Structure 1
Amino acid sequence: MIQLTLIGIGTGNPDHLTLQAIAALRDADLVLIPLKGEDKADLAGLRRAMLDRHLTGAPVRLAEFDLPRRDADDPDYLGAVERWHDGIALAWQAQISRHLPQSGRVALLVWGDPSLYDSSLRIAARLDLAVTVIPGITAIQALCAAHAIPLNDLGAPVQITTGRMLRDHGWPAGADTLVVMLDGGCAFQTLPAQGVRIWWGAFLGMEQQILDHGPLSEAGPRIIRRRAEARAAHGWIMDCYLLRRA
């Protein structure tokens, strides 16, 4: 039996790894390092830096491999994602079969936490593997810590959503605080800005961390500009933001 451990690694800072995560990496027979293309080579480099930092003297085999890409032009978004996940599952299986044909312990480093807006658990469910999850620091935690703000108002709910949902359906009913993930199009600009404040962060917890906040009418245009500049400079960007209505 292959034991797959999905390890939450936070937002890129090696200090985000928990002691439990480090112990699991040291126990692994194989660590999978997915590659997402030359423009996102830094992501694999960050994973390697974490391993170099925490696995000194531990003989762990690494397997780097190319990930398939999602067809971004497919109008069937959910169908395209399902087919993409099928391809990723096959890529995982190919590496595991190549390096651990009989049995062993495999570790996969997952940005943030495997349970929050990450599909590693859904992909793993396609394979006949025993799965263990080690939680990590989420981008939401890192965002609130960076801005030194509480996630929720006193006794009030919070809704976590995506840029696609915010753009297509507007502000959800029932919550005055939203956390928006996976927003490559700055969907906040589709909202009425009156009475809304935003707290935004990119590369959270890393050396190149960028923060901005303020009334949406003032901070929104700055964030759009700074996000575009950072993406052009690095070839990729990971960011999220919190919106709160008065």
Structure 2
Amino acid sequence: MRDGTRHIAVIGIGSGDPDQLTLGAVKAMRRTDVFFVLEKGEEKSSLTGLRRAMLTEHASPGHRVVDAEDPWRDRAQGARGGYTDAVHDWRRRRADVCERLIREELAPGQRGAFLVWGDPSLYDSTLAVLEEITARGNVAFTCDVVPGVSSVSTLAAHHRVGLNRVGRPIHITPGRRLAETVGNDDGDIVVMLDAHESFRQFAGGGTWIYWGAYLGTPDEILISGPLDEVADDISRTRAAARAEHGWIMDTYLLRTSPDDTAG
């Protein structure tokens, strides 16, 4: 039975493979009346196509899909040192778009949803955007979060390695902060959002790398081995893939030895 409250679900849909959808995600999709999709431009249209294929297979008849353009993000400002300000500005403008969608396209009593790549809790802005909308007080809604399979989990699974080693932690960082971990031997490092091949900072130290791009999609690429031996191969592969697709999203694991990966 429906009440007069708008409901929003933030649904993790995995890193690209439709088989990564959890039963919880499928059930949430079947309960949804309106799906909000933020378009990221022609070069990433394949990602939108994957979302629509999932909806065709799993969403209930009669659902609607509402598209909107994702606000442009000033990545050059981030490169100049204003990263935090650039992200907050982008999130504010994204909140403007999402607030309008919820207010105008979702009737009281209906359920809306945002489909989030990977897991909504890991390097994704949707939850923060919804928190900002709630704080503004212009439109009221409840919110549920459905966890998903992250690119980090997919990376480890497809390389057939464990993320952690016996008695040791694992550190997850964006590429721009990787330099802070150089010389830290207290665990292994997963790197996300690295646009500058920061792994080269670890060359010459006996480090192994497990690298993956377009994880979970038909375009997936995997390379692993001693960093000194495969770094150039990763660079060439990365450049060619970016030229072909117009974008690249890669994740990698760095560790001092390939041994003793269980635990």
The TM-score range, normalised by the shorter chain, is: over 0.9
SS across alignment from 1:47: helix
Partner of 1:161: 173
| 2:70 aligns with one of 61, 64, 67 | 67
Partner of 1:42: 46
Aligned-pair CA distance for 1:174: 5.2
Q: Contact between 1:201 and 1:210, CA under 8 Å: does it hold in 2?
A: yes
2:88 equivalent to 1:88:
no
Give, as a single letter, the amino acid of the residue that structure 2 aligns with 1:173.
Answer: N
Partner of 2:247: 236
Partner of 1:193: 204
Q: Tell me, which stretches of 5 or more residues in structure 1 are unaligned?
A: none
Q: Which runs of 4+ in 1 moved over 4 A?
A: none
Alignment of 1:56-205 (within 5 A): 58-74=61-77, 75=80, 76-128=82-134, 129-167=141-179, 169-171=180-182, 173=184, 175-205=186-216
Q: Distance in 2 between matches of 1:138 and 1:175?
A: 23
SS across alignment from 2:75: coil
Cα distance change, pair 54–193 in 1 and its aligned pair in 2 (3 A) = farther
Per-residue CA deviations over 1:127-150 (Å, capped at 9, x if unaligned) read 123221100001111001101011
Per-residue CA deviations over 1:82-125 (Å, capped at 9, x if unaligned) read 01001111111111222124342111000100011111111110
RMSD of aligned Cα (Å): 1.5
Mean Cα deviation higher: 102-111 or 137-146: 102-111
Q: Distance in 1 between matches of 2:58 and 2:47?
A: 17
Q: Contact between 1:170 and 1:191, CA under 8 Å: does it hold in 2?
A: no
Taking structure 1 as the reference length, what is the TM-score of the superposition? 0.94
Q: Distance in 2 between matches of 1:180 and 1:138?
A: 13
Aligned-pair CA distance for 1:198: 0.1
Taking structure 2 as the reference length, what is the TM-score of the superposition? 0.88
